[in-house]
Amino acid sequence: MQLAQYLKNRSQQIEECLDQLIPEKKVPYQILLNAARYSLLGGGKRLRPIFALATFETFGGEVEKALAAAAALEMVHTYSLIHDDLPCMDDDDFRRGKPSLHKAFNEGSAVLAGDFLLTKSFEILANLSFPDAIKVELISALSSHSGDHGMIGGQIMDLAAEGREIDLKHLQLIHQFKTGALIKASILFGAILAEVSSDEKKALEEFGENVGLAFQIVDDILDVTAPQDKHGKKISSDKINQKSTYVTLLGLEHAKILAQESLAKAKDALKKIPRDTGLLFELSNIAVNRQI
Residues that bind Mg ion (CB under 5 A): 84, 90, 219, 223
- Nearest by Cα to 48 from 24, 88, 75: 75
Residue 129 CB, nearest approach to ligand IPE (Å): 27
Q: Which is nearer to ligand IPE, 65 or 290 (CB)?
A: 290
Overall residue count recorded for the chain in this entry: 292
Closer residue to ligand IPE in complex, CB, 264/292: 292
Please give the backbone phi and psi of residue 76, each rounded to the nearest 5 degrees, phi first. -65, -45
For the segment 219-248, give every residue that binds ligand IPE (CB under 6 A).
Answer: 219, 223, 233
Pairwise CA distance, residues 157 & 33, whole Å: 31
Count of H helices and E strands in the chain? Answer: 16, 2
Distance, in Å, from the CA atom of 48 to the CA atom of 53, rounded to the nearest integer, reads 9
Least spacing, CB of residue 131 vs ligand IPE, in Å: 30
Of 15 and 90, the one with the shorter C-beta distance to Mg ion is: 90
Judged by CB under 6 A, the stretch of 62-70, 121-129, 198-206, 216-224 that binds ligand IPE is 216-224
Stretch 137-176 residues interacting with ligand IPE (CB under 6 A): 151, 155
CB proximity list for 274: less than 8 A, separation 6 or greater: none
Rounded Cα–Cα distance for residues 74 and 97 (Å): 17
Using CB under 6 A, list all residues that contact ligand IPE: 44-45, 47, 77, 80-81, 84, 90, 92, 96, 151, 155, 178-179, 216, 219, 223, 233
